[in-house]
Amino acid sequence: MKGLITKSTGSWYTLRDEFGKEWDARIRGKFRLNEIKHTNPLAVGDHVEYELDKDQLAVITDIHPRQNYLIRRAVNLSKKTHIIASNIELAFLIATISNPRTSTGFIDRFLVTCEAYEIPVMLVFNKSDEWDQEDKSAYVELKNLYESAGYEVLSVSALQGENLAELKLKLKDKVALVSGHSGVGKSTLVNALSPGLDLKTKTVSDFNKKGQHTTTFAQMYVWPFGGFVIDTPGIKEFGLVDMDKDEIQDYFPEIFALKEECKFYNCIHTIEPKCAVRKAVEHEEVAVSRYESYLTFLDEIEQSETDYSKD
């Protein structure tokens, strides 16, 4: 029988069958050995084969090939990765201009991760009802920046309902993953799109203007307008895992588009002469913040390769 993993808490899972009924599930023992690289052999979004035992418990016997998946570095296991979710048709990152501010570095890290695993992505800036004139100007600047790089950008207000109808059209009939650092109103927005879910929400701390975590593990829910949403934990940082320094440039669309114009085929756009990317940055054809993110990620990967070589 075929099923879909909708919840994972470690060794136990929730499985949704072809008729929409959910079952408690576990993995058949030897199945664990199939995945060595990741800390979790199964993830939310996985399509699986299962059978029911005498206690009406779903025993997962096989996993179907994944279309894609999103990973992060596992906590306290720097060489291991954790699959956040799989088979994602659209990832939408919830960001905020202020209260708290989402940095371009965080946004770029998410975008690069999605690009690496071929996951379509869009940026959704929440809390537009709170914006003053300075915030509105900042949004226009960021919107122009990311749209010029090829990404779709939308402003919404979960509390006032602004642009939620447009967002629903983007999400309809898709398996969508929603992410964002704590405090951006992720659960509030999901609740506004699907009031029956009633996800837990918390306010931003007045002390440090940072959000409080409300989600502890990924979980899939059914959209009332068609499709599914995968809610993810508030993520501080995505680890740039399974990437090398030569390929990171391919995950910045505007840099990838220019690489063939560089003098040297193996140019990594740092100190090489006649580099088309650095020239584009100087002429403001590539955003400085995007180039700085690229350099940061490049250094991070080089440092990671150095650290691993010492072990």
Question: Which distant-in-sequence residues (6+ apart) come within 8 Å of 173 by Cβ?
Answer: 226, 227
Per residue in 238-284, pLDDT (tens digit) is 667 778 888 999 999 999 999 999 999 999 999 999 999 999 999 99
Q: What is the mean pLDDT of the chain?
A: 87
Average pLDDT value for residue range 109-122: 93
> Quick one: pLDDT at residue 54?
87
Kindly state the percentage of the chain with pLDDT values over 90.
68
191 has a pLDDT exceeding 60: yes
Average pLDDT value for residue range 131-159: 97
> Quick one: pLDDT at residue 245?
87
CA distance 106 to 235: 10
> Quick one: pLDDT at residue 71?
82
31 has a pLDDT exceeding 70: no
Q: Which of 26-40, 98-112, 156-170, 285-299 has the lowest mean pLDDT?
A: 26-40
Output the DSSP codes for 58-88. Answer: EEEEEEPPPS-EEEEEETTEEEEEEEEEES-
> Quick one: pLDDT at residue 108?
95
Average pLDDT value for residue range 25-51: 78
Widest Cα–Cα separation across the chain: 69
**Can you read off the two tokens belonging to residue 103?**
């940095």
186 has a pLDDT exceeding 80: yes
141 has a pLDDT exceeding 50: yes
> Quick one: pLDDT at residue 50?
95
More confident residue, 9 or 34: 9
CA distance 67 to 87: 5
123 has a pLDDT exceeding 60: yes
> Quick one: pLDDT at residue 9?
80
> Quick one: pLDDT at residue 205?
38
Q: Measuring CA to CA, how many Å separate 229 from each of 7, 14, 86, 90, 174? A: 12, 15, 12, 9, 8
**Can you read off the two tokens belonging to residue 281?**
């940055």
34 has a pLDDT exceeding 90: no
More confident residue, 241 or 94: 94
Output the DSSP codes for the chain. Answer: -EEEEEEE-SS-EEEEETTS-EEEEEE-GGGGGG-SSBS-S--TT-EEEEEE-TTS-EEEEEEPPPS-EEEEEETTEEEEEEEEEES-SEEEEEEESSSSPPPHHHHHHHHHHHHHTT--EEEEEE-GGG--HHHHHHHHHHHHHHHHTT-EEEE--TTT-TTHHHHHHHHTTEEEEEE--TTS-HHHHHHHH-GGG-----PPPTTTS-------S-EEEE-TTSEEEEE----S-----S--TTTGGGGSHHHHTTGGGSSSTT--SSS-TT-HHHHHHHTTSS-HHHHHHHHHHHHHHHHHHHHHHH-
> Quick one: pLDDT at residue 290?
97
Per residue in 200-241, pLDDT (tens digit) is 654 443 433 444 443 457 899 999 999 999 988 655 556 677
> HSE (CB half, 13 Å, CA atoms) of 141?
11
> Quick one: pLDDT at residue 81?
77
> Quick one: pLDDT at residue 45?
97
In the numeric block, the tokens 């659209």 are attached to 90
More confident residue, 237 or 300: 300
CB 8 within 8 A of CB 44: yes
> Quick one: pLDDT at residue 132?
97
More confident residue, 307 or 24: 24
> Quick one: pLDDT at residue 77?
52
